[in-house]
Amino acid sequence: MKPNPTSLRQRMIAMEKGTEMTVPVDAYGMTTVKTYASEIGFALERKYTTTKDRATRTYIIRRIA
């Protein structure tokens, strides 16, 4: 099976330092977002932060290192 280049995991891997992306609450659970940030960060020696925006019902993922 060919990897989906638009999956959350692939988009996080493609992020450059200092960039952010917003994903809807309906598409991903907070556990998924936080787990990906932790696991991808550990595997690739990066750092991510995650924030919930209740007003827009989205998660904001930032690559900080």
> What is the tens place of the pLDDT at every residue in 18-62?
999 999 988 887 788 999 999 999 999 999 999 999 999 999 999
Identify whether 3 is part of a domain: no
| Domain limits for position 58 | 8-63
Checking if the pLDDT of 2 tops 60, the result is: no
Asked if residue 42 is part of any domain, the answer here is yes
Please report the pLDDT score of residue 6 as a whole number. Answer: 80
Evaluate whether residue 41 is within a structural domain: yes
* Spatial CB neighbours of 19, under 8 Å, sequence gap ≥ 6: 62, 63
20 occurs within a structural domain = yes
- Is the pLDDT score of 11 beyond 50? yes
Residue 13 domain-assigned? yes
Look at residue 3 in the predicted model and tell me its pLDDT. 54
Give the number of domains in the chain. 1
Q: Is residue 34 situated within a structural domain?
A: yes
Question: Does the residue 47 lie in any domain?
Answer: yes
> How many CB atoms neighbour CB 27 within 10 A?
11
Which pLDDT score is estimated for 1?
Answer: 46
